[in-house]
Amino acid sequence: MFWHCLVIASLSAALFASDAPALVTQPENPLAGYSFYGNSDYSSKVLQKAVPQFQREGKEGLARQAARVASVPTFMWMSSRDQIQKLRPFAEEAQHQVRSGAKLLLPLVIYNLPDRDCGAKASSGELSIADNGVDLYKSSFIDPIAATIKQFPDVKFVLVIEPDSLGNLVSNINKTKCRNALEGHKESVSYALRTFDLPNVHMYVDGGNSGWWGNPTNMGPAAKLVGEVWRRAGRPRAFRGLATNTANYNAWSVSQCANYTQGSRNCDEKRYINAIAPLLQREGTPAHFITDMGRSGVQPTGQWAWGDWCNALNTGFGLRPSTQTDDPLLDAWVWIKPGGESDGTSSVMAQRFDPKCGQADAKQPAPEAGQWFQEYFEQLLRNANPPFEE
């Protein structure tokens, strides 16, 4: 899925003018001192799919390394209504660990907007705006998740709200599907932010990445849109800021920008969050971040262009999740995208085929989005930086 149809414009000096507002003092990072809960849904895929496959192929070293990947905490994706039933067992397990003295954060991705992924085809979802999708999203998706979270007040939840949602409304609004989804998506995201404004929740709405919202043409409109939905949600206390680089491959910080960044000033995520933070603060919104490093271990990647988002070649597992970061704006490095799950199918015959998944810089053959992709997992594992020692 993800990061589609980017038009990298020439840099605009206006956004970096010397009269830009100074960053205000940042409140204490509420995630500091905590570790992330590792959900068994991802670990079981690694242990039951990746490890046995390596063993069958005689790749014992990779099998041992893969077993280490299984212990890395990743976000659990609530990507359909039938996924909601998995939340309670995870919350109960996390609660048990918390009551035994662990300081844990349970990380979730909320990902089921009606007319989801309006800028591409690979990850279209189950709800349609034309078929009462907004009301169903509220009543049969957001409300049940919130009800479950309320039943575990001693468990802290970290939520990433709707990957791709606001980003598509900024850069792909020329597409009919996105244009028709504009009001429905803003209403739905605002409802999610308002409903999840709970004492045991910290929320980050998806904020694109350095190659998408980091484009100065997009940053201003993006910050305004975040401000709009935040105010529409009633300025929720639990809103912390943006999640960046979700399911993408960008570096946290590089000394030399890759050629495919086309001279962008914001060629990594650290530069990007420091560039957009003043614009968010100008809108009155909190400006804190978490950044997905799950597939960012290799720089540069094998992408032809920055907007090539599907199963990119020459990628590897990156920095491990941690709340000890090197930037006061960054609350945590995280693994949001489960490494080894496909971004989209390379089969031109598939209903959800997206041309990005059929390009020569996308690993093929690839299964449908979300399905296990053993060859991609192996690529990530072999290229891991830092490596997974046996």
Q: How many CA within 13 A on the CB side of residue 357?
A: 25
User: DSSP class of residue 372?
Assistant: B
Long-range contact set of residues 131-137: C-beta below 8 Å, sequence gap at least 24: 133/184, 134/184, 134/187, 134/188, 137/112, 137/113, 137/188, 137/191
User: DSSP class of residue 27?
Assistant: P
Nearest to 138 by CA among 188, 178, 84, 174: 188
Residue 390 CB coordination number (10 Å): 11
End-to-end CA distance of the chain: 32
Contacts of residue 129, defined as CB under 8 A and 6 or more positions apart, other chains included, come to 114, 115, 180, 181, 184
Residue 82 to residue 79: CA distance in whole angstroms: 8
Q: Is 61 exposed, middle or buried (CB count within 10 Å of its CB: 0-12, 13-18, 19+)?
A: exposed
Nearest to 39 by CA among 321, 293, 310, 371: 321
Residue 230 CB coordination number (10 Å): 24
Cis peptide preceding 300, ω within 30 of 0: yes
Q: For CA atoms 15, 333, 320, 45, give the dihedral sign.
A: negative
User: DSSP class of residue 57?
Assistant: T
Residue 202 to residue 220: CA distance in whole angstroms: 24
Residues serving a catalytic function are: 117, 164
